[in-house]
Structure 1
Amino acid sequence: MKDKGLISIEDLLENPEVKKAADNINQELIERRKYVPPKCGVFKSAYTVLKDNDDFKFSIHREARKQLPDIINNKVQSIVGLDFPEESLKQRYSKKYTIGIVFSGGPAPGGHNVIAGLYDAAKKANSETKIFGFILGPDGIMENEAIEITGSLVDSYRNLGGFTMIKTGRAKIDTKEKMALSRETCKSLGLDALVIVGGDDSNTNAAFLAQELIQDRIQVIGVPKTIDGDIQVRDAEGKVLCAMSFGFHTAARAFANAISNLCTDSSSDVKYWHI
C-alpha cells in the first residue's frame, strides 16, 4: 500500500514551483531577453544613409595598394539619419536583400545582439529579406554550411553572451582555393552582402573577401570585435575611428570582478594566497 505521506519523484517534478526552479528558462533569463538596449541617436531616424567623411587621412602601404586595388581608396563613411529621404533612397532601403553573417575568432559579449540588430533592421525595412548565418566561422563560408536566421532563433539568444547561435571558428580564408570556395558559396546563396564579425585578423580577411567579391557586387562589411582592445583604429594624424569595440567593456568588468573576488578571498585568510 502506498504511503500517503510520501510523494513520487514524478509528482514532485510536476509541481509548478519545482518546474519553475529546475527549468532552464528562469525568470532572470526571461527578463534579460526582454531587455531592449538603447539605440544610437542616428538609428532613431526613419532612414539612414552613408555619406563620405573627409576628416580622416591615411598613409597607405604600397603592398596594400597592390593587394586591394579596388577597395583601398574607399573613404571613411558616416551614418546620417533621415526622416524624409528622396524616393530613390526609400526604394533602395525597402528592397528585398539576402545577407550572410559569420562569427570569426574568439567569442565576445554582444555577438548575438549584432545578429539581432541586423535581423531587426533588415526585417523592418523588408519582411522578405533573408539572413543566413554561417556555422562554425569562416569554415561555414568555405563549406557552404549555413542556416536561415529566424525570428524565434534570434529571440532565443537576444542579449545572451557567447557566439552559441551559429558558433565561431578561427579558420582563415587565405588562399586562392579558399577564396574561390567562399565566392561560390556567396554566389550560390545569392548574397547581396556578407557581414564578418571578428578581430584584426578577421577584418583583414574581410578586406580580401571584399576585393574578391567586388566584381560580383557582393558587399562585405566588417564588424570589429575584441575583448582585449586591439582594434583601436587611428588615421595618419592620430584621430580615432574605433576607440573600443563591443565586448571589451564587459570583459574588462568581468576580469575586474574576478580580481576583486581574489583580493577579498586573500584578505579573509592569511593562510592562503591566490595568484
Structure 2
Amino acid sequence: MATEIKKIGVLTSGGDAPGMNAAVRAVVRASIYYGIDVFGIYKGYDGLINGNMEQLYVRSVSNILSRGGTFLLSARSKEFRTKEGRAKAYENFKANGLDALVVIGGDGSFTGADIFSQEFDVPVIGIPGTIDNDLSGTDFTIGYDTACNTAREAIDKIRDTASSHERLFFVEVMGRDAGFIALNSAIGGGAVAMIVPEHNWSIDALISRLKKGAANQKASNVVIVAEGCHLGSSYDIAEKVKEHIPHYDIRVSVLGHLQRGGSPTTLDRVLASRMGVAAVEGLREGQSKVMVGVINNKISYTPIGEAIKTIKRLDDDEFRIAKILSI
C-alpha cells in the first residue's frame, strides 16, 4: 500500500559527482508533479543537523541539468556519525515537517542514511551518486560515465606527447578501492596495461608486457593505475619499472579531482533523471531503506545494507578484451 508522503527532503553527501544536480532536479520536479513539497538540504547531513534547508520549486532547479558538482553543496559530516548528531538531525527533520528523505551519494552517505532510518523509522531512499561505480544494485552510478570520459580525454592528450617523444606514461585515475574507471578508460584510451585493486598484478608481469610492446615496435606506452592499487602510487610503480628498464623515458600524470568535475554526459543526465523520478515514486509506493538502481536498463530497488556490503565485481570479459587489444 502506498504511503502518504507530503514533504520530502533531498540532500547530496560525500564526494561530488557530475549528474548530482540532474538527480536533485528530477527529485524536485517529480515531487511537485505528484503534489509533494520538497526541501533542499544544504551541505549534506550537516545541513540536516543545523536546519540549513529551504523549499524548492520548479524554477529553483532551472538550468542546472548541465552543471557539474551540486548546487546543494556537499560535506562529510563527523557529527552525523554520532548518536547525538543524528538525534539533532531528526529534531530538525520533524520541525520542518518532513516525511521522507532522499540521499544522493556513495556508500558512506548510504551507511548514515541506513542508520538514521533504523533509529528513527524515517522513510529513506538513496540515489547512487559516485564516480567510483562501486555500489552493487546498479549497473552504473551517477557520475561514473562522465569520469570515464574525462579520464579518456586526458589519456588521448597524453598519448599525443607520449608518441612524439617515445615515452612511457603512467596515468593515475581515481576510484578509491575500485578499478572501474581504470579498466574502462584503459580500453577506451588504448592503454598497454592497467593496474587495479581487484587484480594482484606484479611488477614482473608489467615489465613483461612492456617489453612485449617494445618488441612489437610500440611508439608509446600508456599504463593506467587505479589510485587504490596494491603496488602503491603511480610514482612508486614508475620508480620500480625504471629500475628494471632504465633506458625508458618515464613520466607520471595524476589526473586527480578533475575527474569529478565538468558537465555530465548525456548518459549521466538521463541516469540521474530516471533515478530521481524513481526515488519519489518509490517513496509514494512505500519503499524505504533502499537504493534506486538501474539493472539491464530497468529501475530496481536494493536494500541499502546490501548495496553497500556486497562487493561489486569488475567484468572479467572486459579484462580479457583489454589484454587482447594491448598487443
TM over 0.5: yes
1:161-176 alignment, distance < 5 Å: 161-163=68-70, 165-172=71-78, 173-176=80-83
Residue identity matched to 1:148: Q
Residue identity matched to 2:37: K
What is the deviation of 1:167? Answer: 0.5
What is the deviation of 1:213? Answer: 2.2
Identify the residue that residue 228 of structure 1 maps to in structure 2. 132
Residue identity matched to 1:166: L
C-alpha separation in 2, matches of 1:96 and 1:177:
26
- TM-score, normalised to structure 1, is 0.57
Identify the residue that residue 107 of structure 1 maps to in structure 2. 16
C-alpha separation in 1, matches of 2:140 and 2:37:
30
Contact 2:5 2:99 in 1 (8 A): no
Contact 2:32 2:58 in 1 (8 A): no
Residue identity matched to 2:138: C
Contact 2:5 2:100 in 1 (8 A): no
What is the deviation of 1:252? Answer: 1.0
What is the deviation of 1:151? Answer: 2.0
C-alpha separation in 1, matches of 2:39 and 2:143:
23
C-alpha separation in 1, matches of 2:139 and 2:58:
32
Matched pairs, number: 170
What is the deviation of 1:141? Answer: 0.6
Contact 1:183 1:212 in 2 (8 A): no
Name the Cα RMSD after superposition.
2.1
From the superposition, tell whether residues 255 and 182 of structure 1 become closer, same or farther in structure 2 (CA, over 3 Å): same
What is the deviation of 1:270? Answer: 5.8
Contact 1:104 1:197 in 2 (8 A): yes
Contact 2:103 2:127 in 1 (8 A): yes
Identify the residue that residue 131 of structure 1 maps to in structure 2. 38
What is the deviation of 1:269? Answer: 4.6
Q: Give the match's secondary structure for 1:133.
A: strand
1:256 to 139, 147, 152: 152
Identify the residue that residue 59 of structure 1 maps to in structure 2. none
1:199-238 alignment, distance < 5 Å: 199-214=106-121, 218-231=122-135, 233=136
Contact 1:266 1:273 in 2 (8 A): no
CA deviation map 1:120-177 (0-9, x unaligned) = 2111111xx32111111111011111122222220131232111x1110011422111
Contact 1:139 1:169 in 2 (8 A): yes
- TM-score, normalised to structure 2, is 0.49
Question: Is 1:244 matched with 2:140?
Answer: yes
Structure 1 runs (4+) deviating above 3 angstroms are 268-274
Residue identity matched to 2:6: Y
Identity %: 32
Contact 1:262 1:274 in 2 (8 A): no
Identify the residue that residue 120 of structure 1 maps to in structure 2. 29
C-alpha separation in 2, matches of 1:134 and 1:120:
16
1:178 to 73, 81, 85: 85
Q: Give the match's secondary structure for 1:132.
A: strand
Residue identity matched to 1:183: Y
Contact 2:19 2:65 in 1 (8 A): no
CA deviation map 1:60-89 (0-9, x unaligned) = xxxxxxxxxxxxxxxxxxxxxxxxxxxx86
Q: Does 1 or 2 have the higher relative contact order (CA < 8 Å, sep 6+)? A: 2
